[in-house]
C-alpha cells in the first residue's frame, strides 16, 4: 500500500503542474484575445457570444497544445496526458486527427461568435461565412468519421461512447434547468446560440468525466 501511495504522489504532482501551466496558458491567451477584440466589440457581443467564443478558444487551445506536442514530442510529453515522448510519436496519426477535429470545432465556434447577425452589426465577418464554415465542418466531420471508422481502437470507441453519454446527461440537465428557468421567468434568457455553446462545452466536460472516472486523467 505504501508503495502505491508513494507512486501515486508524483502522478498527482505532475497532473497539478499540468493543470496550473494549462490554466496560466489559457488565461494569457484569453487575455490576449480579449485585448485584441477590444472593449467595444466585447460590449456588442454580449454574454452569449462571449461564452461561445470562450468555448471555441478552449477547443482551439487544446488543438494547439496537442499540435505542439506532436511537433515537439519531448516537450509535449511534459504537458500532455501521455506516458512519454515515444507515445506521442507512436500515436501521431490519431492525435493529428484529434488536432484537426478540435481545431475545426474551435474555429467554427469562434467564427459563429464574431459573425454579423441581426442585432449584432459590429460582427467581424458576414454571417454567411460562419454558416458556410459550420456546414463545411459538419460535412467534413461526417466524411472524416466514415473514412476513419476503422482507425479507432476499442478503448477510443468506449471512451467516445462514455463521453457522449455524460455529455448528453449534463446537457439534458443543464439545458432543461436553464430553459425551464427562462420559461418561468426565473433565470437569464436561453438563446439559440447558448444551446450550441452548452452542447460544445458539455462534450468537452463529458469527455473529461469519462476519462476521469477511469482514472486516466493522470498517467
Q: Does 94 bind another protein (CB under 8 A)?
A: yes
Q: Specify the stretch interacting with another protein by CB under 8 A; choose among 63-71, 96-104, 171-179, 211-219.
A: 211-219
The interface mask with another protein, positions 103-142, x = CB under 8 A, is ----------------------------------------
Of 130, 106, 5, give the one whose Cα is nearest residue 57: 106
Contact yes or no for 58/118 (Cβ under 8 A): no
The interface mask with another protein, positions 29-68, x = CB under 8 A, is ----------------------------------------
Q: Specify the stretch interacting with another protein by CB under 8 A; choose among 40-48, 85-93, 179-187, 190-198.
A: 85-93
H-helix or E-strand containing 152? none
Nearer to another protein, 121 or 153 (CB): 153
For another protein, the binding residue among 156, 165, 172, 208 (CB under 8 A) is 156
CA 62, CA 54: separation in Å to the nearest integer?
12
> Cell triple for residue 86?
515515444
Of 93, 99, 131, 110, give the one whose Cα is nearest residue 200: 110
Nearer to another protein, 43 or 91 (CB): 91
Burial category of 53 from C-beta neighbours within 10 Å (exposed 0-12, middle 13-18, buried 19 and up): buried
For another protein, the binding residue among 57, 73, 87, 101 (CB under 8 A) is 87
CA 59, CA 1: separation in Å to the nearest integer?
39
Nearer to another protein, 120 or 152 (CB): 152
- Could you give the C-alpha distances from 154 to 61, 97, 111, 149, 195, in angstroms and in order? 27, 17, 34, 11, 31
For another protein, the binding residue among 83, 119, 184, 185 (CB under 8 A) is 83
Q: Specify the stretch interacting with another protein by CB under 8 A; choose among 23-31, 43-51, 153-161, 182-190.
A: 153-161
SS3 string, 34-56, reads: HHHHHHHHHHHHHHHHHHHHHHH
Q: Does 214 bind another protein (CB under 8 A)?
A: yes
In the complex, which residues of this chain contact another protein (CB under 8 A)?
Answer: 83, 86-87, 90-91, 94, 153-156, 158, 214-216, 219
Amino acid at each position: 500500500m505504501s508503495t502505491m501511495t508513494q507512486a501515486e504522489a508524483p502522478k498527482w504532482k505532475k497532473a497539478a503542474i499540468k493543470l496550473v501551466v494549462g490554466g496560466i496558458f489559457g488565461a494569457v491567451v484569453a487575455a490576449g484575445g480579449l485585448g485584441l477584440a477590444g472593449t467595444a466589440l466585447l460590449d456588442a457581443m454580449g454574454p452569449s457570444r462571449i461564452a461561445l467564443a470562450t468555448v471555441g478558444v478552449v477547443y482551439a487551445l487544446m488543438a494547439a497544445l496537442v499540435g505542439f506536442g506532436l511537433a515537439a514530442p519531448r516537450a509535449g510529453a511534459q504537458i500532455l496526458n501521455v506516458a512519454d515522448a515515444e507515445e506521442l510519436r507512436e500515436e501521431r496519426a490519431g492525435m493529428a486527427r484529434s488536432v484537426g477535429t478540435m481545431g475545426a470545432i474551435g474555429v467554427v465556434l469562434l467564427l459563429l461568435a464574431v459573425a454579423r447577425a441581426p442585432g449584432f452589426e459590429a460582427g467581424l465577418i458576414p454571417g454567411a461565412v460562419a454558416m458556410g464554415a459550420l456546414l463545411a465542418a459538419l460535412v467534413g466531420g461526417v466524411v472524416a468519421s466514415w473514412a476513419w471508422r476503422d482507425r479507432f481502437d476499442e478503448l477510443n470507441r468506449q471512451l467516445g461512447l462514455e463521453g457522449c453519454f455524460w455529455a448528453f446527461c449534463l446537457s439534458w440537465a443543464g439545458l432543461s434547468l436553464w430553459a425551464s428557468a427562462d420559461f418561468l421567468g426565473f433565470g437569464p434568457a436561453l438563446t439559440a446560440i447558448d444551446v450550441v455553446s452548452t452542447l460544445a462545452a458539455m462534450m468537452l466536460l463529458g469527455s473529461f468525466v469519462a476519462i476521469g472516472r477511469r482514472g486516466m486523467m493522470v498517467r
